[in-house]
A and B are shown apart, each in its own frame.
Chain A
Amino acid sequence: RKEVEQDPGPFNVPEGATVAFNCTYSNSASQSFFWYRQDCRKEPKLLMSVYSSGNEDGRFTAQLNRASQYISLLIRDSKLSDSATYLCVGYNFGNEKLTFGTGTRLTIIP
């Protein structure tokens, strides 16, 4: 079983809709989490970090549930520019390593 698991999608969502992704992790040593977005043939770009229960930045909300070992990302009022692959990432302060999920592909449809 992978340490960080995501539904690969693709998610095809109409513009303006709300979309949510979930990510589960198996290693309880992961103490903090990130969402990165990665456009085709580009590097991952940091979207949000979440350490406590949640974090909100504009249209984006990330939530962490340690008891159930999952992290979610909610995108409200989706834009065409939100089309990308979203990577769920766990961080272990002990060994200072990131563990990446394989990503969820999102396409926003006009």
Chain B
Amino acid sequence: GAGVSQSPSNKVTEKGKDVELRCDPISGHTALYWYRQSLGQGLEFLIYFQGNSAPDKSGLPSDRFSAERTGGSVSTLTIQRTQQEDSAVYLCASSLNPKELSSYEQYFGPGTRLTVT
């Protein structure tokens, strides 16, 4: 079946502009996660959705970052007034049911490579 998809795959933007990144999770997956991976670094948790609500926003690095999820499916991550340090690969993952041992694995999308010039 279809995996997690993300768009765009690459985004180059000028410092100060806003960007929107999109994630389509695997159909039926209730949980959706956003991560960031900077060059040569590990994955950094940003935000987690269960359904349309975000019980954990603790990883968002500043108030320039926001995310929403609608219809329990698609999510968008918005970065306002982008800075050069925002350059990274933004990865989205989904899981069927994060509370159940049989279905808690997270599956990742291909990511959006963001470059802020």
Q: Spell out A's residues near B (CB within 8 Å).
A: 32, 34, 42-46, 49, 51, 87, 91, 93, 95-103
Contact = CB atoms under 8 A, between A and B. Distances in A.
B107 interface: yes
24 contacts: A32-B101, A32-B104, A42-B110, A43-B108, A43-B109, A43-B110, A44-B91, A46-B107, A49-B105, A51-B101, A87-B43, A93-B99, A95-B56, A96-B48, A96-B50, A96-B56, A96-B99, A96-B104, A97-B45, A98-B33, A98-B45, A100-B43, A102-B41, A103-B42
A46 B94 CA distance: 12
B106 interface: yes
Contacts of A49: 105
A43 B45 CA distance: 14
Interface of B: 31, 33, 41-43, 45, 48, 50, 56, 91, 98-99, 101, 104-111
B43 A44 contact: yes
Contacts of A51: 101
Contact of A98 (B41, B99, B106, B109): B106
A8 to B, nearest CB: 10
Contacts of A43: 91, 108-111
Contacts of A42: 110
Contact of B105 (A46, A96, A99): A46
Contacts of B33: 98
A16 B98 CA distance: 37
